[in-house]
A and B are shown apart, each in its own frame.
Chain A
Amino acid sequence: MKGIGKLWWLLLLLAELFFVYGCEKFEFSPYQTKGAEPLPQQINARQIDRLINAPHQDDTITVIFIGDSQRFYDELDDLVHKANQLPSVDFLILAGDITDFGLRKEYAWILERLERLRMPYMAAIGNHDLVANGSEIFESTFGPKNFSFVYHQHKFIFHDTNGREYGFNESVPSIPWLRTQMITEEPYWYIGVAHMPPHHEDFDRNLEHEYVGLWSSNPRSVAILSGHNHDTGDAYHYNDHVRYITSNAVEKRSFLLLKIHKGQIAKQLIEY
């Protein structure tokens, strides 16, 4: 390498300058909550606006219901492709565990795919989304952990039920907040969306009775849609009129297509 020409010198210097100054995508820490590449903000609120302002096709609500997208990037690519081929879908529900480790980079990789959906999408928070600094990242990208919206006389109540992540401190799920959501003079049908179903051991046992009673005591409660189990399920767990439906994790390459009409839910398993 002795006697290297001036041209090589220049090339080496340019290469170094390119690497040092040409790339802005530096990562300081995997646990950082903000970075040079901004993530979308307040996704749930924006998507609800998109849904409400879209022309209504009919009075049946068609929903793609998926759970647990964590680390299943290839499968999510295929899911998005399949979802975009289905006609008349009003919106997509992701019932938590968007990420596996609660890292900002994971949120970015999942959102990169979800943003390709043709229909609006909303997500509940899962236990995996809360680990490390994931809670703050969820709140800045998706918005509040508890939120609701009304569509075709059905009120969809998304809420945090991941009691174990809070040390079973009897604050999650927030019973007072849920109560305010279900007290209304409007004749809505109520559908809950929460990652952790109440009969699971990761739900705060001290709140199970009150939580189930809240849904059970309202004759217009229809169902609670959950994830976490990575498997489909549909049962009346508490001898009342409330259905507890769970969806497959994205890794299973199938999701539930729900047709909701006047408090009745018909479901179909769609494989992709």
Chain B
Amino acid sequence: MLIGCLGNEKILAKPKNRLPISLVQMQFAGSIGMVSLGYFKTGLRERIKVGVMGGYTPEEFGGKRLGSITLKFGYTPIRFLIKNRLEWKPIAAGIFLTQHLGENLHLRWPKQYKRGYYYWTNSLRQHAFVATHINYLLKKGLFKRLDFIQNLTPMICMYTAI
């Protein structure tokens, strides 16, 4: 199933002298909550990153109070140095698995359903995305780099079969 999910993310990066560096990621929309916050580690010279995110959608914006926990993996194969402090990663592809939390959402179906009655789980969903990064290296401060990430395509968002 294809569900249109567009979101933009901002990453505050704090690189250390040695890899992997740590990333703190803030995100707006993108199928896991109106706002979400995550922590990532990178590897293979920052080509891959893996981390967890927690998302939240207030009732006012989603109709119901919704939460989420996400395990996310991203891959950025190429990067270009545009200027001294600016770099561009044109393609960032990734997948993530999200457990959605809310009043009527459950990982296991309630007891009135016999096994396999519904073929999907009611709250665990898989996603895939393609995005682009623009990274800006900061001069000083706690964080060493600021990344802007924007999804390029509608996000693939599908159920998880039991």
List the interface of chain A (C-beta within 8 A of B): 1-2, 4, 12, 16, 19-20, 23, 25-35, 101, 103, 105, 131-133, 135-136, 164-165, 167-168
Contact = CB atoms under 8 A, between A and B. Distances in A.
A29 B31 contact: yes
A29 B6 contact: no
Given A1-B81, A20-B8, A25-B6, A133 B29 contact: no
Given A12-B134, A16-B134, A19-B150, A31 B82 contact: no
Contacts of A103: 3
B64 A27 contact: no
A28 B112 contact: no
Interface stretch (B13-21, B41-49, B55-63): B55-63
Among the interface residues B29, B63, B150, which one has the most CB atoms of the partner chain A within 10 A? B63
10 closest A-B pairs (Cβ-Cβ)?
A33-B63, A34-B63, A26-B29, A32-B62, A1-B80, A28-B34, A28-B57, A27-B5, A167-B112, A19-B150
Given A1-B88, A131-B122, A32 B66 contact: yes
B7 interface: yes
A1 B102 contact: no
Interface residues of B, number: 47
Contacts of A32: 57, 61-64, 66
B6 A105 contact: no
Interface string B12-38: 000000000000000011111110000
Given A28-B33, A28-B61, A132-B104, 14 more contacts: A12-B134, A19-B150, A26-B28, A29-B34, A29-B55, A29-B66, A29-B68, A29-B100, A33-B63, A103-B3, A105-B3, A132-B105, A164-B113, A167-B111
B83 A27 contact: no
